[in-house]
């Protein structure tokens, strides 16, 4: 599988492909306190900001929305009560699902940007996911060199649509890091596994998921 179509939620029952499905919700209407202004929020340590990610109570509400949506979607797929499904996470491990309080192999990953939130679920193991608004990054050369590695930085020099190419490269890297439960850091090496591009039902967004080799 080289690409995965993302489904808006609420919507029809998701149909997993090779045990994987993803949903997208609109969080632009997430409530924020009176007088709160939209402010840039960093995607990771020392990374560039994404203007529409949201901060504080607004982002917390978006997190609650997508976690509930993911539980609802998985409940429909597994035909079990949503109250029996819980998202669990611990430092150093990718998030996974508890079914009736029991740890399962089902992996989950979340991403937020531009008034949207994504949840990607892998019924067979860990998964990482990342979405990002396609945008022109002023210091893209330094960011690519520091975080994406020399090969990607060189390739971006000659691309015809640099904003899109950069966004695709960035979300590939972020998704891989999430799958391996690693924090964003300066480039070291490629991570094992398989990256799959996302077909998103929203304009100006790009994204990827990353899974381990055994579930590819």
d(CA 106, CA 97): 6
Helix (H) or strand (E) holding 104: strand 102-113
* pLDDT score at 216: 40
73: its two tokens = 């979607």
Answer yes or no: are the C-beta atoms of 111 and 129 closer than 8 Å.
yes
* pLDDT score at 214: 55
* pLDDT score at 40: 32
Can you tell me which residue has the tokens 């020392």?
Answer: 46
46: its two tokens = 């020392």
Residue 22 binned pLDDT confidence (cut-offs 50, 70, 90): very high
Instruction: Tell me whether strands 127-133 and 41-42 are parallel, antiparallel or unpaired.
Output: unpaired
d(CA 129, CA 209): 4
* pLDDT score at 213: 72
Residue 127 C-beta-side C-alpha neighbours within 13 Å: 29
Q: Over the stretch 119-164, which tens digit does the pLDDT of each residue have?
A: 999 999 999 999 999 999 999 999 999 999 999 999 999 999 999 9
Answer yes or no: are the C-beta atoms of 28 and 65 closer than 8 Å.
no
Mean of pLDDT over the chain: 89
- Does 168 have pLDDT greater than 50? yes
């Amino acid at each position: 599988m080289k690409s995965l179509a993302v489904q808006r939620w609420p919507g029809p029952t998701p149909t997993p492909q090779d045990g994987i499905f993803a949903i997208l919700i609109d969080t632009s209407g997430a409530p924020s306190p009176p007088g709160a202004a939209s402010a840039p929020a960093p995607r990771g340590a020392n990374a560039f900001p994404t203007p529409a990610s949201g901060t504080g109570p607004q982002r917390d509400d978006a997190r609650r929305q997508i976690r509930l949506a993911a539980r609802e979607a998985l409940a429909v797929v597994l035909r079990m009560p949503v109250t029996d499904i819980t998202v669990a996470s611990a430092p150093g491990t990718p998030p996974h699902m508890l079914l009736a309080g029991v740890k399962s192999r089902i992996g989950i990953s979340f991403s937020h940007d531009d008034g949207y939130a994504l949840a990607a679920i892998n019924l067979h193991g860990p998964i990482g996911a990342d979405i990002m608004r396609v945008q022109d990054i002023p210091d893209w050369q330094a960011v690519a060199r520091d975080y994406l590695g020399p090969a990607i930085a060189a390739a971006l020099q000659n691309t015809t649509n640099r904003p899109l190419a950069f966004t695709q490269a960035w979300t590939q890297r972020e998704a891989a890091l999430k799958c391996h439960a690693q924090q964003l850091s300066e480039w070291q090496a490629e991570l094992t596994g398989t990256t799959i591009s996302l077909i998103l039902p929203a304009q100006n967004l790009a994204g990827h998921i990353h899974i381990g080799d055994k579930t590819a």
